[in-house]
Amino acid sequence: MNAGDSVQQVHESRAFTLLARSGWVVTGLLHLIIGALAIAVAFGNRDARPDEVGAFEAISAAPLGGVLLAAVIVGLVGLGIWMIADAVLNGGPMHRWTSAVSSAAQGLVYLGLAVPPAILLFGGDLESGATARALSEVLLDSAPGAVVLVLVGLGIAVAGVYFVVKGVKRRFAWELRPLPRRRRRIVRILGVIGYLARGVAFLLLAGLIIVEAIQVDPNDVTGLAGALSALRRVFLGPVWLAAIGAGLIVFGLYSVARARLSRI
């Protein structure tokens, strides 16, 4: 057996696939918490931070928070490595180069997402929106930097549109193995609502980045928490924010279901 076959065998092993599935459970948990925090903001809680940092801090503050953070890190790293390996070995889930690129990119995102909980686990502090503000300050010092920030916003907007289309057209069905009709219907409903809410959240973040880049005010580029909090100030903002929060909770439920029902 050569090295490639050995790597493939490890990638397809039960232990490794269970590790990948645990990453989807973690993703679901994060969306459940972020959705709940968004609803809290909608009802006037100014201390709630509806983004990944707020979710990680909520996990850290829970009983056995350190153990939970360690489990979160293991799940995210496991899923990230599994997706990158799938891209290299199999060309991603669709077995073509575009699928490979997408799978590898998502794997890198999951690996990056494991950094904040690791900082918390080892006693560091996180500030929601601080990274976004620091990066925007550097970019907005020059006209080319502002253009780069606008392009970042446009890239996030494209991702938001992708999630909306994926939800509306139910292009996530391939993610799941064949299911009984009733269970398939329930899971698809969760997927449609969840992907729509996730797409809208991305579009809000993109809009905030682009508008503030044009206005050259880096202090207002505060990430997802800032985008969702800003939504509360528009007409019927609390209603829209609560609806998005509920949708993110639904996406969290879909992610947990995917951990059990996905094709691997």
**Four-residue CA torsion sign, 56, 59, 78, 203:** negative
At 13-64, the pLDDT tens digits run: 777 788 888 999 999 999 999 999 999 988 888 788 888 888 998 999 888 8
Distance CA 137, CA 24 (A): 34
Compute CA 117 distance to the chain's CA centroid, rounded to the nearest angstrom: 14
Q: Which residues contact 94 (CB under 8 A, 6 or more apart)?
A: 174
In the predicted model, what is the mean pLDDT of residues 214-227? 61
**Four-residue CA torsion sign, 67, 30, 105, 192:** positive
The three-class DSSP label of residue 262 is strand
Task: Give me the pLDDT at residue 144, please.
Answer: 67
At 137-168, the pLDDT tens digits run: 555 555 666 677 778 788 888 888 989 998 88
Alpha helix positions (H), 140-222: 143-168, 181-215
Residue 131 pLDDT > 60:
no
Q: How confident is the model at residue 127 (pLDDT cuts 50, 70, 90)?
A: low
Distance CA 85, CA 103 (A): 9
At 93-111, the pLDDT tens digits run: 777 777 788 888 888 989 9
Flag whether the pTM goes above 0.75. yes
Structure tokens given for 48: 């709630």
